[in-house]
Structure 1
Amino acid sequence: MIVCMTITEQHERTYGYADLPRLMALMTGDEKHSPAATSTLDVLWVLHDRVLRIGPERLEDPERDRFLLSKGHGPMAYYAVLAAKGFVPVDWLPGFGAYDSPLGHHPDRMLVPGVEIGSGSLGHGLPIGVGTALGLRAQGLHEPRVWVLIGDAELDEGSNHEAIAFAGPAGLERLHTVVIDNASASHARPGGIAARFEAAGWSTVTVDGRDHEALYAAFTAPHPGRPHAVVAQVEPKSE
């Protein structure tokens, strides 16, 4: 029997990485896209636990970092991390995908605290990230960092290549992207995923997407004057 905690009980305890599978298990129903969700789990956790300067108390803080989930299908891992970090009540998780639930099959920025963009068609997140970085620069906000999480299959979309080609020469140092590489792309790239970013002037690191220390080192690697891309390799997609 699944017992959901009240909001008060949720805020009285601290959730860690070991709790995430249980939190994800609270979300049931069709259209879960479980492999898509679990492929992002470790990246999402390391970012939210150790890297991103965000929190439930900073939702309107202009100096917060911005995290854009472009790989929005199968958001169970994202919702579990948001619940673990106090952005949303754990009570919401069992309602995932229900008609009256704020937790839809794609995150909605108007309904879910902590969500910066509403995702849908693949290929939109990185261009929005470029615009966000430019907007922050124009406002004189030089500390916030922009992080975009995309999937390797999204690189089949031309909009991403335009964003990659623009961001490098523009020197968008505050822009970061994490590519989840689970071998689901339809088209191969000569030299691999990182080579596409490097050709456009990005700093790149390719790491094991399940190794938390390697991910943290890659996320925090210096890249003066250049945007930064981390290719996180995980097990191939099985569905």
Structure 2
Amino acid sequence: MHNKHYSNQQLESIALNVREHIIKMSTGGGCFTGASLSAVDLIVYLYAEFLNLHNDNLIDPDRDYLFLSKGHDVPALYGTFAELGLMEKERLANHLSINDHLYWHPNTNIPGIEFHSGSLGHLPSVAIGVAMDIKIRAGKNKVICILGDGELNEGSCWEAVLVANAYKLDNLVFVIDRNNFQANMPTEELIPLEPLQDKFIAFGSAVTRIDGHNYNALRAAFENYPFKKDKLNVVIADTVRGKGLPSIERRADRWFCNFSADEVQQLLQELHGEHSTQLTSETLVVR
């Protein structure tokens, strides 16, 4: 079962609102702003159109599953939950509050969060376990695991790819948020990943590579699920760290940000195309 079909304009509007939520969470302690902004369009598309997940079936055994292995992107997940009715929008103001469970990584006390994450490289194996159980039960559930590209330096990720293909888990999709940064370094300067598609193919997977900010490309890729019978599905989504905010896009120092209230207002203006204030690396200070 798929959710309703949205127009690209509707998805873009939802994504814009999610980016606004992320910016507002980037203060008072901050969050992983740049990485979260790169994943917004992926997460919005998956919840809005691809996954059978909504407010009324979050514990239904027939629901689909999404595991956010790059758990530091959880502001994008919180924002999507708020925009699609899985969480009250007002609750986002509780980010980092001792009175709620919204903090820097996913927490299963929040309905819709399937598993804690934060230590990278763990959730591909969890997703495999769920996908195997579904296969055994002859279920139709889809399982998504979103990984960061820097996360692929964890050997457990590649072990998971081998196991998923060994057990022919074509109900499982690994989505790679390929924003080309690992924490405060470009991936290709630390431990180069390319040719990434060839590596997944060599490990037995069915792979497609797309623009992770293009809803037509996302739709075309996921409408072909499963990509090939008896193979792990892998989507390499090329994205931009800090997407939506030109002043922080593709910057190694915009991984974790803790902006002042004034800087948040400037960034919100930039997000909405208002350029009354010139934003530079000097005016935006990482704390």
The bucket for the TM-score relative to the shorter chain is 0.7 to 0.9
| Preserved CA contact (<8 Å) 1:169 1:200 | no
Matched letter for residue 22 of structure 1:
E
- What is the DSSP-based 3-state SS (H/G/I as helix, E as strand, rest coil) of the residue aligned with 1:229? strand
| Preserved CA contact (<8 Å) 1:172 1:227 | yes
User: Can you give the 5+ residue segments of structure 1 that lack an aligned partner in the other structure?
Assistant: 1-14
1:120-131 equivalences in 2 (<5 Å): 120-131=118-129
Shift of 1:120: 1.9
- What is the DSSP-based 3-state SS (H/G/I as helix, E as strand, rest coil) of the residue aligned with 2:56? helix
1:197 aligns with 2:200: yes
Matched letter for residue 216 of structure 2:
E
Matched letter for residue 217 of structure 1:
A
Give a deviation string over 1:24-43, Cα, whole Å, max 9, x none.
34423224110011010000
1:218 aligns with 2:221: yes
Give distance in 2, aligned partners of 1:169 and 1:17: 36
1:64 aligns with 2:63: yes
Shift of 1:137: 1.8
Matched letter for residue 33 of structure 2:
S
Q: Could you tell me which residue of structure 2 aligns to residue 179 of structure 1?
A: 176
Which of 126, 130, 133 lines up with 2:131 in the alignment? 133
Shift of 1:131: 1.1
Q: Could you tell me which residue of structure 1 aligns to residue 282 of structure 2?
A: none
TM-score, with length taken from structure 1: 0.87
The range that moved more, 37-46 or 161-170, is: 161-170
Work out the percentage of aligned pairs sharing the same amino acid.
29
Q: Could you tell me which residue of structure 2 aligns to residue 235 of structure 1?
A: 240
TM-score, with length taken from structure 2: 0.73
Compare CA radii of gyration and give the structure with the larger one. Answer: 2
Shift of 1:234: 1.3
Give distance in 1, aligned partners of 2:52 and 2:135: 17
Give distance in 1, aligned partners of 2:199 and 2:95: 36
1:51-200 equivalences in 2 (<5 Å): 51-109=50-108, 111-138=109-136, 140-184=137-181, 185=187, 186-189=190-193, 191-200=194-203
Shift of 1:232: 0.6
- What is the DSSP-based 3-state SS (H/G/I as helix, E as strand, rest coil) of the residue aligned with 2:97? coil
Which of 10, 17, 20 lines up with 2:18 in the alignment? 20
Shift of 1:60: 1.5
User: Can you give the 5+ residue segments of structure 2 that lack an aligned partner in the other structure?
Assistant: 1-12, 182-186, 242-249, 254-287
Give distance in 2, aligned partners of 1:150 and 1:29: 27
